[in-house]
Structure 1
């Protein structure tokens, strides 16, 4: 089997691991798919566990975000070590987000892909990603709306990417 195919399948399947669902279920006995927004991501983990298990809410949210970001990075780092082309790396990045959003482990449902997307972008566009996270943190503190703050952070990433790489 072609190495790229193995990398592509690995990116999708590793990113499909529903960490928010697993952590909330194991540590708080809560199915986040049936509470709040029904999403498996860090934002819904926080929202649901604030109500159901407040003593675990922040810890499990941080762990969920970190694991969701990291799962998108793992295969990209492996592919980089193997000398993969940029086109392969970007394909892995997309497949990681798709895996998180459409997990075969959850009937092809999942999260919104924000943390996983951030993880892959942190590897592929590190400076722009750091700018985006600073903008997201400020926006979320001011607006207190995670989804809108994520969109504002993404906008900052796109603008900074254009400024840093105007020839791409």
Structure 2
């Protein structure tokens, strides 16, 4: 158990545990009295919070969706900034970033189920790769405005960010970004299947 006294391990554990906090589930249950794990896509992310709460309270749905998006992004950012303040090396920071995303997608509080990871992923990548993340957000915004399908917009933005990282920072080790991308695509497999079948619904 000596590894628990290692500061790197402490930040890794914190990243996973904080990343796993299901803000969407908590907000929807507390303020709207609904369980997003039992409705819609059964995801704990902002899109499903918006979709499920909208059925009973459209005005509240927008607020809770926005709050979920913000909190899911901030939870990864918070641990990263703490690690930076503690003087952790870049390798540790990348470990924290990846584990925050893993925590959200495979939450220890939800029997290792969780959300799709887009907000948390974009949050940590905004800290680590701000220019690339800005590219991803712009692509996401354009796709969301034109197609209005959350999964396509999100995944296109992620791909744009990954590709941009090879151009803007060709010298860096891209493995952490690739790992995060793979996790996000893995969590979107049901959406990808629905897209192929033409069953994926737009968010209106």
- Length-normalised TM-score, structure 2: 0.80
Matches of 1:167 and 1:72, distance apart in 2: 25
Equivalence map 1:1-168=2 (5 Å):
1-168=5-172
Deviation at 1:33, TM superposition (A): 0.4
Cα displacement string for residues 66-122 of structure 1 (whole angstroms, at most 9, x for unaligned residues):
000000111111111111111101110110001101111111111011100010000
Give the SS at the match of 2:170. coil
SS at match of 1:83: coil
Distance 1:52 1:30 in 2: 10
| Long gaps (5+) in structure 1 | none
Cα distance between partner residues in 2 of 1:144 and 1:151: 13
Q: Distance in 1 between matches of 2:12 and 2:135?
A: 28
User: Which protein, 1 or 2, shows the higher relative CO under an 8 Å CA cutoff with sep ≥ 6?
Assistant: 1
**1:76, 1:85 → 2: CA distance?**
11
> RMSD of the TM alignment (CA)?
0.9
User: Which 5+ residue runs of structure 2 have no aligned equivalent?
Assistant: 173-204
- 1:32-66 CA-to-partner distances (Å, cap 9, x unmatched) read 00000000000101111111221211111010000
- TM-aligned CA deviation for residue 166 of structure 1: 2.0
Q: State the TM-score, normalizing by the size of structure 1.
A: 0.97
CA distance in 1, matches of 2:81, 2:39: 34
